[in-house]
Homo-oligomer: A and B are copies of this chain.
């Protein structure tokens, strides 16, 4: 990262800089003593202009890099669809692909919740992949999880290769019980599948006035610090904490961005910002999402080694240990199969849930009250840029969910088209919302990059 020492000149608008140059040119005419003052001064001012031009270029470069991951993912044209209607469509597709109705409904809820919260990477975008896994018999759609070991505060759950949301729902409910009984609960799961956004499960704890953590390992997309191949998932950490009429909602991949954001950009034909991922050499940054999806990989949070990327890599390993090793998964780290329908084997994902009951540590309500105060204090901090106020984790997603309740869930047009193609291919296009059915006949969406 390059930061320049502040220079008052670099703040001048472009016209002011040109004026300052022409004034200088005039002054240079008065040079005495035969020395080529005119040329010398012109050269000096030229140097100044060069410096300014270069700074200007660097500034515009910096501006490009300011595109946040949400800016990139949220750009494009949209279709707005009622949340329940969208859930019905996704559930119909999952049922057509082989899932029992109740389990299909739960998975659909989790996927649509992601879109409603402005995380389209983990939403309807993935319906095609889930259906592909079901049709390829990679997941046992009817499997119910079972406890493989149990103690007062901790349990290990065998997911029996069932739908990830079914396993997660069972495990988080068990974890909530344990926390309410003893103060803190831990439930790990093995032999599971994708469980959607981690925050969905933390939210179950939040509704019970508990602190809820949710972690999962996933298929390798991370290129660890110093390595030149993929060897870890995006391995998210979710931590939700209840406050008075408010809450703290952290849900983050331990990579710089989750792979789902790369998928969405790929589907939308967008380039991605520099620094999110590397190509198949493992060391070259790329702005082409396809290069990351096909052979490249993601950087850990923190980026390169000199900017402490090894910390994001360490957190990534921590999540892998809590999810895959502590639950006894057979496939760990780089050995986890890719999340593709041609993988020919179960992914064997592991999850970890931890719940804490603040009322076992403080008088009831004290935690929520103090947390509300802290969240307000942080939001009211003076901002460096008056147009970008200070936020706390969960603020953008909550605002998005409020909007979705009013105007419907915002679906990128390409993703909506993908859902239409999927429903058509599964013979359940009758379940499609009118807004998606009404899209032009000839519009088509690229296949999901994983659903080969």
Contacts and interface: CB of A to CB of B under 8 A. Distances in A.
Contacts of A250: 314-315, 317-318
Contacts of A241: 321, 325
A149 interface: yes
Interface in A379-397: 381-385, 388-393
Contacts of A348: none
A57 to B, nearest CB: 8
A341 interface: no
Interface stretch (A98-106, A227-235, A404-412): A227-235
B156 A186 contact: no
A47 B36 contact: no
A308 interface: yes
Nearest to A1: B275
Interface stretch (A123-131, A137-145, A280-288): A280-288
B186 A183 contact: yes
A356 B154 contact: yes
Contact of A274 (B1, B65, B151, B361): B1
A211 interface: yes
Contacts of A311: 252, 301
Contacts of A308: 69, 252, 256-257, 301
A164 interface: no
Interface in A298-317: 301-308, 310-312, 314-315, 317
A366 interface: yes
Nearest to A237: B315
Interface stretch (A48-56, A87-95, A435-443): A48-56
A211 B58 CA distance: 46
Contacts of A354: 184, 354
Number of this chain's copies in the assembly equals: 2
A322 B248 CA distance: 12
A288 B150 CA distance: 54
Contacts of A256: 302, 307-308
Interface string A155-185: 1100000000000000000000000011111
Interface string A360-390: 1110001100110110011001111100111
Given A250-B315, A326-B367, A370-B328, A2 B360 contact: no
A271 interface: no
A327 interface: yes
A12 interface: no
A306 B273 contact: yes
Contacts of A317: 248, 250, 374, 378, 392-393
A120 interface: no
Contacts of A384: 226-228, 282-283
Contacts of A373: 332
B388 A226 contact: yes
Interface string A31-48: 000001011111111111
25 contacts: A1-B65, A1-B304, A2-B2, A2-B65, A42-B43, A43-B49, A46-B49, A47-B47, A48-B50, A49-B50, A50-B51, A68-B306, A154-B183, A154-B184, A156-B361, A156-B362, A211-B326, A228-B381, A241-B321, A250-B318, A252-B308, A301-B301, A301-B302, A303-B303, A332-B373
Given A183-B186, A257-B308, A310-B393, 13 more contacts: A1-B274, A43-B45, A47-B50, A67-B306, A156-B362, A226-B385, A226-B389, A250-B315, A250-B318, A252-B315, A314-B393, A333-B377, A354-B354
